[in-house]
A = this chain, B = another copy of it.
Amino acid sequence: VSTPPGYLGADARIRSGPAPELVEAGYQLEIDDAALLHDGLALADLAHLVSLVEADEVSTKEIKPLLDAVLDMAGKRPEDIDYDPLYGDAYNSRERVLQSQIGDNAGWLHLGRTRREAGRIAFRLALRDLLIDLYEEITNFGSALADKAEEHAQKLWADSTYLQPAQPSTFGHYLGAFAEEALRHLARVEAAYEWADQCPGGAGGAGGTRLRIDRTKLATLLGFSRPTNHCRDGMWATDGLIDAVTAATQAALTVDRLAEDLEIFASPAFGYVELDASLCRASVLMPQKRNPYALAVIRGGAGTLVGRLTGLLTTARTPSARTDNWLYAYGEVAGSLKLAIRLVKLGKAVVRGLQPNKEAMKKIAYEHFVGAADLAEDLALRDRVDYRTAYKIVGRAVADAYERGISQLDPPQDLMALVEARTGQGAASPDRVREHARGCRQTADWAQLRRTNNAEARDRLITRARNLSRQDEEEPGLRSSWGETRGVLGP
Protein backbone atom coordinates (compact mmCIF):
# COMPACT_ATOMS: atom_id res chain seq x y z
CA VAL A 1 0.00 0.00 0.00
CA SER A 2 1.55 3.25 -1.10
CA THR A 3 0.63 6.58 0.35
CA PRO A 4 -2.78 7.36 -1.04
CA PRO A 5 -3.09 10.36 -3.29
CA GLY A 6 -4.08 13.41 -1.36
CA TYR A 7 -2.68 12.09 1.86
CA LEU A 8 -0.09 14.40 3.23
CA GLY A 9 0.77 13.08 6.62
CA ALA A 10 -0.71 14.29 9.84
CA ASP A 11 1.27 17.47 10.17
CA ALA A 12 1.63 18.32 6.52
CA ARG A 13 -0.48 21.40 6.89
CA ILE A 14 1.88 22.87 9.38
CA ARG A 15 4.89 22.11 7.27
CA SER A 16 3.65 23.44 4.01
CA GLY A 17 1.08 26.08 4.85
CA PRO A 18 -1.63 26.95 2.42
CA ALA A 19 -0.73 28.33 -0.98
CA PRO A 20 -1.38 32.08 -1.27
CA GLU A 21 -3.74 31.37 -4.17
CA LEU A 22 -5.75 29.14 -1.86
CA VAL A 23 -5.91 31.68 0.92
CA GLU A 24 -6.99 34.35 -1.51
CA ALA A 25 -9.62 32.33 -3.33
CA GLY A 26 -10.76 29.92 -0.62
CA TYR A 27 -10.12 30.89 2.96
CA GLN A 28 -10.84 34.54 2.35
CA LEU A 29 -14.20 33.53 0.88
CA GLU A 30 -14.98 31.60 4.02
CA ILE A 31 -13.69 34.23 6.41
CA ASP A 32 -16.03 36.67 4.71
CA ASP A 33 -18.84 34.67 6.31
CA ALA A 34 -17.43 35.09 9.81
CA ALA A 35 -19.75 37.92 10.79
CA LEU A 36 -22.74 35.98 9.53
CA LEU A 37 -21.85 32.84 11.43
CA HIS A 38 -20.24 34.37 14.50
CA ASP A 39 -23.18 34.14 16.90
CA GLY A 40 -24.36 30.79 15.65
CA LEU A 41 -20.93 29.21 15.93
CA ALA A 42 -20.79 30.14 19.60
CA LEU A 43 -24.24 28.69 20.16
CA ALA A 44 -23.37 25.53 18.24
CA ASP A 45 -20.24 25.12 20.38
CA LEU A 46 -22.13 25.66 23.60
CA ALA A 47 -24.89 23.26 22.63
CA HIS A 48 -22.34 20.65 21.66
CA LEU A 49 -20.55 20.94 24.99
CA VAL A 50 -23.80 20.86 26.96
CA SER A 51 -24.87 17.79 24.97
CA LEU A 52 -21.59 16.04 25.64
CA VAL A 53 -22.04 16.60 29.35
CA GLU A 54 -25.70 15.63 29.31
CA ALA A 55 -24.77 12.45 27.47
CA ASP A 56 -22.16 11.73 30.13
CA GLU A 57 -19.50 11.64 27.46
CA VAL A 58 -17.44 14.23 29.25
CA SER A 59 -17.63 15.69 32.71
CA THR A 60 -18.16 19.36 33.21
CA LYS A 61 -14.92 19.37 35.09
CA GLU A 62 -12.99 18.11 32.11
CA ILE A 63 -14.27 20.80 29.83
CA LYS A 64 -14.82 23.68 32.24
CA PRO A 65 -11.99 25.80 30.79
CA LEU A 66 -13.36 25.24 27.32
CA LEU A 67 -16.93 25.94 28.38
CA ASP A 68 -15.90 29.19 29.99
CA ALA A 69 -13.81 30.24 27.03
CA VAL A 70 -16.65 29.54 24.62
CA LEU A 71 -19.08 31.40 26.87
CA ASP A 72 -16.68 34.29 26.80
CA MET A 73 -16.56 34.22 23.00
CA ALA A 74 -20.35 34.06 22.85
CA GLY A 75 -20.40 37.51 24.41
CA LYS A 76 -18.08 39.04 21.88
CA ARG A 77 -18.78 40.73 18.59
CA PRO A 78 -17.29 39.45 15.32
CA GLU A 79 -14.84 42.31 15.17
CA ASP A 80 -13.46 41.29 18.55
CA ILE A 81 -12.18 38.00 17.17
CA ASP A 82 -9.14 37.90 14.95
CA TYR A 83 -10.75 36.18 11.98
CA ASP A 84 -7.80 35.58 9.71
CA PRO A 85 -7.94 33.69 6.41
CA LEU A 86 -4.38 32.54 6.84
CA TYR A 87 -5.64 29.89 9.24
CA GLY A 88 -8.68 28.79 7.30
CA ASP A 89 -12.32 29.54 7.92
CA ALA A 90 -14.07 31.17 10.87
CA TYR A 91 -14.08 27.92 12.78
CA ASN A 92 -10.32 27.63 12.48
CA SER A 93 -9.80 31.16 13.72
CA ARG A 94 -12.00 30.50 16.72
CA GLU A 95 -10.10 27.31 17.41
CA ARG A 96 -6.89 29.28 17.41
CA VAL A 97 -8.27 31.77 19.89
CA LEU A 98 -9.40 28.99 22.22
CA GLN A 99 -6.09 27.20 21.85
CA SER A 100 -4.17 30.31 22.76
CA GLN A 101 -6.39 30.90 25.77
CA ILE A 102 -6.73 27.45 27.28
CA GLY A 103 -4.28 25.26 25.42
CA ASP A 104 -5.10 21.61 24.78
CA ASN A 105 -8.38 21.76 26.65
CA ALA A 106 -9.71 23.43 23.51
CA GLY A 107 -9.28 20.08 21.78
CA TRP A 108 -12.39 18.66 23.48
CA LEU A 109 -14.52 20.84 21.25
CA HIS A 110 -13.93 18.55 18.30
CA LEU A 111 -15.07 15.39 20.01
CA GLY A 112 -17.72 13.77 17.83
CA ARG A 113 -18.30 16.79 15.66
CA THR A 114 -17.05 18.18 12.37
CA ARG A 115 -16.27 21.78 11.62
CA ARG A 116 -18.97 21.46 9.03
CA GLU A 117 -21.64 20.59 11.56
CA ALA A 118 -20.88 23.73 13.55
CA GLY A 119 -21.02 25.78 10.38
CA ARG A 120 -24.26 24.25 9.19
CA ILE A 121 -25.94 24.92 12.52
CA ALA A 122 -24.70 28.49 12.61
CA PHE A 123 -25.85 29.04 9.08
CA ARG A 124 -29.33 27.68 9.64
CA LEU A 125 -29.68 29.92 12.68
CA ALA A 126 -28.65 32.92 10.62
CA LEU A 127 -30.91 31.88 7.77
CA ARG A 128 -33.88 31.68 10.11
CA ASP A 129 -33.26 35.25 11.22
CA LEU A 130 -33.07 36.47 7.66
CA LEU A 131 -36.25 34.66 6.70
CA ILE A 132 -38.03 36.23 9.64
CA ASP A 133 -36.87 39.65 8.50
CA LEU A 134 -37.97 38.95 4.96
CA TYR A 135 -41.36 37.79 6.17
CA GLU A 136 -41.83 40.97 8.11
CA GLU A 137 -40.84 43.20 5.24
CA ILE A 138 -43.21 41.38 2.92
CA THR A 139 -46.09 41.88 5.32
CA ASN A 140 -45.20 45.58 5.51
CA PHE A 141 -45.04 45.83 1.75
CA GLY A 142 -48.32 43.94 1.36
CA SER A 143 -50.06 46.06 3.97
CA ALA A 144 -48.86 49.25 2.36
CA LEU A 145 -50.32 48.02 -0.90
CA ALA A 146 -53.58 47.04 0.76
CA ASP A 147 -53.82 50.47 2.37
CA LYS A 148 -53.29 52.21 -0.92
CA ALA A 149 -55.64 49.85 -2.74
CA GLU A 150 -58.36 50.77 -0.29
CA GLU A 151 -57.50 54.45 -0.48
CA HIS A 152 -57.74 54.45 -4.27
CA ALA A 153 -60.60 52.00 -4.58
CA GLN A 154 -62.68 54.58 -6.40
CA LYS A 155 -60.03 56.19 -8.51
CA LEU A 156 -60.91 55.56 -12.15
CA TRP A 157 -58.04 54.04 -14.08
CA ALA A 158 -57.79 52.47 -17.51
CA ASP A 159 -56.57 48.94 -17.16
CA SER A 160 -54.36 48.16 -20.09
CA THR A 161 -52.47 45.38 -21.80
CA TYR A 162 -49.39 46.08 -23.89
CA LEU A 163 -49.78 49.58 -22.39
CA GLN A 164 -52.84 50.03 -24.62
CA PRO A 165 -55.92 51.20 -22.68
CA ALA A 166 -58.28 48.28 -22.36
CA GLN A 167 -61.16 48.57 -19.92
CA PRO A 168 -62.30 50.81 -17.09
CA SER A 169 -61.00 49.84 -13.69
CA THR A 170 -59.64 51.55 -10.60
CA PHE A 171 -56.15 52.27 -9.44
CA GLY A 172 -57.05 50.49 -6.22
CA HIS A 173 -57.86 47.32 -8.10
CA TYR A 174 -54.53 47.60 -9.86
CA LEU A 175 -52.64 47.92 -6.57
CA GLY A 176 -54.64 45.11 -4.98
CA ALA A 177 -53.23 42.63 -7.49
CA PHE A 178 -49.76 43.29 -6.13
CA ALA A 179 -50.98 42.91 -2.56
CA GLU A 180 -52.43 39.53 -3.46
CA GLU A 181 -49.18 38.46 -5.07
CA ALA A 182 -47.18 39.67 -2.08
CA LEU A 183 -49.21 37.48 0.25
CA ARG A 184 -48.21 34.34 -1.60
CA HIS A 185 -44.58 34.99 -0.80
CA LEU A 186 -45.32 34.52 2.87
CA ALA A 187 -46.13 30.85 2.35
CA ARG A 188 -42.88 30.49 0.43
CA VAL A 189 -40.90 32.05 3.24
CA GLU A 190 -42.63 29.80 5.75
CA ALA A 191 -41.78 26.72 3.70
CA ALA A 192 -38.15 27.79 3.51
CA TYR A 193 -38.16 28.45 7.23
CA GLU A 194 -39.42 24.98 7.96
CA TRP A 195 -36.28 23.57 6.37
CA ALA A 196 -34.00 26.04 8.11
CA ASP A 197 -35.65 25.22 11.41
CA GLN A 198 -34.43 21.63 11.44
CA CYS A 199 -31.25 20.91 13.33
CA PRO A 200 -28.47 19.10 11.50
CA GLY A 201 -26.61 18.58 14.78
CA GLY A 202 -25.41 15.19 15.95
CA ALA A 203 -24.57 14.12 12.43
CA GLY A 204 -21.00 13.08 13.12
CA GLY A 205 -19.29 13.02 9.73
CA ALA A 206 -22.64 12.44 8.03
CA GLY A 207 -23.62 9.03 9.36
CA GLY A 208 -24.44 10.15 12.88
CA THR A 209 -22.20 10.17 15.92
CA ARG A 210 -21.52 7.19 18.15
CA LEU A 211 -21.68 9.48 21.15
CA ARG A 212 -24.85 9.30 23.17
CA ILE A 213 -26.02 12.70 22.04
CA ASP A 214 -29.78 12.92 21.76
CA ARG A 215 -30.39 14.74 18.50
CA THR A 216 -33.84 15.89 19.55
CA LYS A 217 -32.54 17.37 22.78
CA LEU A 218 -29.71 19.03 20.90
CA ALA A 219 -32.20 20.53 18.46
CA THR A 220 -34.27 21.86 21.36
CA LEU A 221 -31.20 23.30 23.06
CA LEU A 222 -30.49 25.29 19.95
CA GLY A 223 -34.08 26.39 19.52
CA PHE A 224 -34.75 24.35 16.40
CA SER A 225 -38.15 22.75 15.93
CA ARG A 226 -36.65 19.28 15.44
CA PRO A 227 -33.62 17.42 14.14
CA THR A 228 -33.34 16.64 10.43
CA ASN A 229 -34.77 13.26 9.54
CA HIS A 230 -31.57 11.97 8.03
CA CYS A 231 -28.03 12.86 9.05
CA ARG A 232 -26.42 12.84 5.64
CA ASP A 233 -29.28 14.72 4.04
CA GLY A 234 -29.22 17.25 6.86
CA MET A 235 -25.55 17.84 6.32
CA TRP A 236 -25.40 18.11 2.55
CA ALA A 237 -28.70 18.82 0.85
CA THR A 238 -29.03 22.31 -0.62
CA ASP A 239 -32.64 22.27 -1.76
CA GLY A 240 -33.63 24.32 1.27
CA LEU A 241 -31.19 27.03 0.23
CA ILE A 242 -32.82 27.19 -3.16
CA ASP A 243 -36.23 27.51 -1.53
CA ALA A 244 -35.02 30.43 0.55
CA VAL A 245 -33.47 32.28 -2.36
CA THR A 246 -36.39 31.49 -4.64
CA ALA A 247 -38.76 32.97 -2.07
CA ALA A 248 -36.56 36.05 -1.87
CA THR A 249 -36.32 36.35 -5.64
CA GLN A 250 -40.03 35.86 -6.14
CA ALA A 251 -40.72 38.59 -3.59
CA ALA A 252 -38.26 40.89 -5.32
CA LEU A 253 -39.86 40.15 -8.68
CA THR A 254 -43.21 41.34 -7.37
CA VAL A 255 -41.67 44.60 -6.27
CA ASP A 256 -39.85 44.75 -9.59
CA ARG A 257 -43.01 44.40 -11.64
CA LEU A 258 -44.60 47.18 -9.66
CA ALA A 259 -41.49 49.32 -10.17
CA GLU A 260 -41.48 48.59 -13.90
CA ASP A 261 -45.04 49.87 -14.09
CA LEU A 262 -44.44 52.86 -11.87
CA GLU A 263 -41.42 54.06 -13.79
CA ILE A 264 -43.67 54.29 -16.83
CA PHE A 265 -46.59 55.71 -14.86
CA ALA A 266 -44.27 58.35 -13.39
CA SER A 267 -43.17 59.57 -16.82
CA PRO A 268 -44.59 62.98 -17.70
CA ALA A 269 -46.28 61.43 -20.73
CA PHE A 270 -48.38 59.23 -18.44
CA GLY A 271 -48.30 61.39 -15.36
CA TYR A 272 -50.27 58.79 -13.40
CA VAL A 273 -48.16 58.94 -10.27
CA GLU A 274 -45.53 60.92 -8.48
CA LEU A 275 -42.97 59.33 -6.21
CA ASP A 276 -42.16 60.83 -2.87
CA ALA A 277 -39.30 63.30 -3.15
CA SER A 278 -37.23 61.27 -0.71
CA LEU A 279 -37.09 58.43 -3.25
CA CYS A 280 -35.96 60.54 -6.18
CA ARG A 281 -32.62 61.88 -7.21
CA ALA A 282 -31.56 65.08 -8.87
CA SER A 283 -29.46 65.26 -12.00
CA VAL A 284 -26.08 66.92 -11.66
CA LEU A 285 -26.33 68.31 -15.17
CA MET A 286 -30.01 68.93 -15.78
CA PRO A 287 -31.71 71.30 -13.38
CA GLN A 288 -35.25 70.43 -14.45
CA LYS A 289 -34.86 66.76 -13.79
CA ARG A 290 -35.72 64.55 -10.84
CA ASN A 291 -35.29 60.84 -11.38
CA PRO A 292 -37.34 58.06 -9.78
CA TYR A 293 -34.11 56.50 -8.63
CA ALA A 294 -35.71 54.07 -6.16
CA LEU A 295 -37.41 52.24 -9.02
CA ALA A 296 -34.16 51.61 -10.84
CA VAL A 297 -32.60 50.32 -7.63
CA ILE A 298 -35.46 47.86 -7.28
CA ARG A 299 -35.42 46.73 -10.89
CA GLY A 300 -31.69 46.20 -11.09
CA GLY A 301 -31.79 44.39 -7.78
CA ALA A 302 -34.40 41.94 -8.97
CA GLY A 303 -32.35 41.11 -12.04
CA THR A 304 -29.28 40.65 -9.91
CA LEU A 305 -31.21 38.32 -7.63
CA VAL A 306 -32.27 36.14 -10.54
CA GLY A 307 -28.57 35.68 -11.18
CA ARG A 308 -27.88 34.83 -7.57
CA LEU A 309 -30.55 32.15 -7.69
CA THR A 310 -29.19 30.80 -10.94
CA GLY A 311 -25.70 30.62 -9.49
CA LEU A 312 -27.04 28.60 -6.62
CA LEU A 313 -28.93 26.27 -8.96
CA THR A 314 -25.91 25.85 -11.19
CA THR A 315 -23.70 25.04 -8.26
CA ALA A 316 -26.30 22.62 -6.91
CA ARG A 317 -25.65 20.43 -9.90
CA THR A 318 -22.79 18.52 -8.35
CA PRO A 319 -22.19 15.12 -6.79
CA SER A 320 -23.12 14.66 -3.15
CA ALA A 321 -20.77 15.56 -0.30
CA ARG A 322 -18.49 17.64 -2.44
CA THR A 323 -18.61 21.06 -0.68
CA ASP A 324 -18.48 23.19 -3.82
CA ASN A 325 -22.20 23.76 -3.51
CA TRP A 326 -21.83 24.84 0.11
CA LEU A 327 -18.61 26.84 0.04
CA TYR A 328 -20.15 29.87 -1.58
CA ALA A 329 -23.67 29.25 -0.35
CA TYR A 330 -23.44 30.86 3.08
CA GLY A 331 -22.50 34.20 1.63
CA GLU A 332 -24.60 33.93 -1.50
CA VAL A 333 -27.79 32.91 0.29
CA ALA A 334 -27.43 35.45 3.06
CA GLY A 335 -26.46 38.15 0.58
CA SER A 336 -29.45 37.33 -1.59
CA LEU A 337 -31.85 37.49 1.33
CA LYS A 338 -30.39 40.77 2.51
CA LEU A 339 -30.67 42.22 -0.98
CA ALA A 340 -34.29 41.07 -1.24
CA ILE A 341 -35.06 42.52 2.18
CA ARG A 342 -33.66 45.88 1.14
CA LEU A 343 -35.64 45.81 -2.09
CA VAL A 344 -38.94 44.85 -0.45
CA LYS A 345 -38.38 47.53 2.15
CA LEU A 346 -37.71 50.10 -0.54
CA GLY A 347 -40.80 48.86 -2.36
CA LYS A 348 -42.84 49.51 0.77
CA ALA A 349 -41.45 53.05 0.96
CA VAL A 350 -42.35 53.59 -2.69
CA VAL A 351 -45.92 52.44 -2.14
CA ARG A 352 -46.37 54.49 1.01
CA GLY A 353 -45.19 57.65 -0.71
CA LEU A 354 -47.10 57.14 -3.94
CA GLN A 355 -49.16 60.13 -5.11
CA PRO A 356 -51.57 59.23 -7.90
CA ASN A 357 -52.76 61.95 -10.23
CA LYS A 358 -56.50 61.41 -10.51
CA GLU A 359 -56.95 63.74 -13.46
CA ALA A 360 -54.20 62.21 -15.56
CA MET A 361 -55.62 58.74 -15.06
CA LYS A 362 -59.14 59.88 -15.82
CA LYS A 363 -58.04 61.66 -18.98
CA ILE A 364 -56.46 58.57 -20.50
CA ALA A 365 -59.48 56.50 -19.51
CA TYR A 366 -61.93 58.85 -21.20
CA GLU A 367 -59.99 59.44 -24.39
CA HIS A 368 -59.42 55.90 -25.55
CA PHE A 369 -62.79 54.22 -25.75
CA VAL A 370 -62.09 51.87 -22.87
CA GLY A 371 -65.83 51.31 -22.52
CA ALA A 372 -66.12 49.94 -26.03
CA ALA A 373 -66.28 46.30 -24.96
CA ASP A 374 -68.94 47.13 -22.41
CA LEU A 375 -70.90 48.91 -25.10
CA ALA A 376 -70.67 45.90 -27.37
CA GLU A 377 -71.78 43.74 -24.49
CA ASP A 378 -74.75 45.99 -23.89
CA LEU A 379 -75.63 45.81 -27.56
CA ALA A 380 -75.39 42.04 -27.61
CA LEU A 381 -77.52 41.65 -24.54
CA ARG A 382 -80.11 44.23 -25.42
CA ASP A 383 -80.51 43.34 -29.06
CA ARG A 384 -79.70 39.67 -28.62
CA VAL A 385 -77.05 39.64 -31.30
CA ASP A 386 -73.95 37.56 -30.91
CA TYR A 387 -70.97 39.34 -29.39
CA ARG A 388 -68.79 39.22 -32.48
CA THR A 389 -71.45 41.06 -34.45
CA ALA A 390 -71.87 43.63 -31.69
CA TYR A 391 -68.11 43.98 -31.55
CA LYS A 392 -67.97 44.83 -35.22
CA ILE A 393 -70.68 47.45 -34.88
CA VAL A 394 -68.89 49.14 -32.03
CA GLY A 395 -65.55 48.75 -33.81
CA ARG A 396 -66.91 50.63 -36.75
CA ALA A 397 -68.28 53.36 -34.51
CA VAL A 398 -64.91 53.73 -32.83
CA ALA A 399 -63.12 53.90 -36.17
CA ASP A 400 -65.61 56.45 -37.33
CA ALA A 401 -65.11 58.54 -34.20
CA TYR A 402 -61.37 58.52 -34.71
CA GLU A 403 -61.78 59.63 -38.26
CA ARG A 404 -63.98 62.48 -37.17
CA GLY A 405 -61.51 63.44 -34.47
CA ILE A 406 -63.86 62.57 -31.66
CA SER A 407 -62.49 60.78 -28.64
CA GLN A 408 -65.74 59.60 -27.15
CA LEU A 409 -68.77 57.75 -28.32
CA ASP A 410 -72.20 59.27 -28.32
CA PRO A 411 -73.90 59.01 -25.91
CA PRO A 412 -70.94 59.16 -23.56
CA GLN A 413 -70.42 56.32 -21.13
CA ASP A 414 -70.17 56.69 -17.38
CA LEU A 415 -66.99 54.72 -16.94
CA MET A 416 -67.18 54.62 -13.17
CA ALA A 417 -70.64 53.05 -13.46
CA LEU A 418 -69.11 50.36 -15.62
CA VAL A 419 -66.50 49.70 -12.94
CA GLU A 420 -69.14 49.57 -10.24
CA ALA A 421 -70.99 46.91 -12.21
CA ARG A 422 -67.98 44.58 -11.90
CA THR A 423 -69.13 43.01 -8.69
CA GLY A 424 -67.74 39.49 -8.90
CA GLN A 425 -65.26 38.17 -6.41
CA GLY A 426 -61.91 39.90 -6.77
CA ALA A 427 -63.32 42.28 -9.38
CA ALA A 428 -62.78 46.00 -9.80
CA SER A 429 -65.87 47.47 -8.16
CA PRO A 430 -64.85 49.66 -5.22
CA ASP A 431 -66.58 47.43 -2.70
CA ARG A 432 -64.80 44.38 -3.97
CA VAL A 433 -61.48 46.22 -4.01
CA ARG A 434 -61.95 47.25 -0.40
CA GLU A 435 -63.08 43.79 0.61
CA HIS A 436 -60.05 42.29 -1.03
CA ALA A 437 -57.68 44.84 0.48
CA ARG A 438 -58.95 44.11 3.96
CA GLY A 439 -58.21 40.44 3.41
CA CYS A 440 -54.65 41.25 2.37
CA ARG A 441 -53.61 42.97 5.55
CA GLN A 442 -51.42 40.54 7.35
CA THR A 443 -49.90 40.84 10.73
CA ALA A 444 -46.34 39.72 11.12
CA ASP A 445 -47.33 37.56 14.08
CA TRP A 446 -45.71 34.57 12.50
CA ALA A 447 -42.41 36.40 12.36
CA GLN A 448 -42.62 37.99 15.77
CA LEU A 449 -43.48 34.72 17.46
CA ARG A 450 -40.48 33.04 15.93
CA ARG A 451 -38.18 35.91 16.69
CA THR A 452 -39.20 35.81 20.34
CA ASN A 453 -38.94 32.05 20.58
CA ASN A 454 -35.53 32.01 18.99
CA ALA A 455 -34.21 34.73 21.27
CA GLU A 456 -35.52 32.88 24.31
CA ALA A 457 -33.94 29.64 23.20
CA ARG A 458 -30.65 31.45 22.78
CA ASP A 459 -30.86 32.88 26.27
CA ARG A 460 -31.81 29.53 27.75
CA LEU A 461 -28.86 27.85 26.11
CA ILE A 462 -26.39 30.41 27.42
CA THR A 463 -27.92 30.21 30.88
CA ARG A 464 -27.79 26.45 30.75
CA ALA A 465 -24.12 26.56 29.79
CA ARG A 466 -23.36 29.09 32.53
CA ASN A 467 -25.11 27.03 35.14
CA LEU A 468 -23.27 23.95 34.01
CA SER A 469 -19.98 25.72 34.40
CA ARG A 470 -20.89 26.78 37.94
CA GLN A 471 -22.25 23.45 39.10
CA ASP A 472 -19.54 21.14 37.92
CA GLU A 473 -18.59 20.01 41.42
CA GLU A 474 -21.87 18.25 41.95
CA GLU A 475 -21.95 16.29 38.73
CA PRO A 476 -22.00 12.48 38.84
CA GLY A 477 -19.22 10.41 37.32
CA LEU A 478 -19.16 9.32 33.71
CA ARG A 479 -20.83 6.15 32.67
CA SER A 480 -18.29 3.37 32.60
CA SER A 481 -19.77 1.50 29.73
CA TRP A 482 -17.85 3.10 26.91
CA GLY A 483 -15.23 0.54 26.18
CA GLU A 484 -17.63 -2.34 26.38
CA THR A 485 -20.39 -1.11 24.21
CA ARG A 486 -18.70 0.87 21.53
CA GLY A 487 -14.95 0.90 21.73
CA VAL A 488 -12.55 -1.45 20.13
CA LEU A 489 -9.67 -0.60 22.39
CA GLY A 490 -8.61 -2.58 25.38
CA PRO A 491 -8.66 -1.09 28.86
Contact = CB atoms under 8 A, between A and B. Distances in A.
A457 interface: no
Contacts of A295: 162, 324
A142 interface: no
Interface string A223-266: 00001111111101101101100100110011011101101101
Given A229-B439, A288-B7, A294 B22 contact: yes
Name A's interface SS: helix
Given A163-B264, A377-B111, A426-B229, A169 B206 contact: yes
A370 interface: yes
Interface string A179-191: 0110011011001
A372 interface: yes
A106 B389 CA distance: 10
A303 B325 contact: yes
Interface residues of A, number: 240
A173 interface: yes
Contact of A317 (B12, B209, B317, B419): B317
B206 A26 contact: no
Given A239-B181, A349-B19, A164 B382 contact: no
Contacts of A463: none
Contacts of A346: 19, 21-22, 24-26
Nearest to A213: B424
Interface in A458-488: 482-483, 485-488
Contacts of A455: none
A427 B231 contact: yes
B162 A292 contact: yes
Assembly stoichiometry (copies): 4
A219 B307 CA distance: 34
Interface stretch (A125-133, A270-278, A441-449): A270-278
B321 A161 contact: yes
A453 interface: no
Contacts of A282: 12-13
A407 interface: yes
B299 A318 contact: yes
Given A107-B389, A287-B395, A422 B208 contact: yes
28 contacts: A1-B367, A2-B402, A4-B268, A10-B392, A13-B280, A13-B282, A17-B278, A25-B342, A26-B293, A104-B388, A159-B206, A161-B321, A164-B291, A167-B205, A176-B233, A180-B230, A204-B285, A229-B436, A239-B250, A264-B267, A269-B271, A285-B373, A286-B373, A287-B372, A296-B322, A296-B324, A298-B324, A300-B323
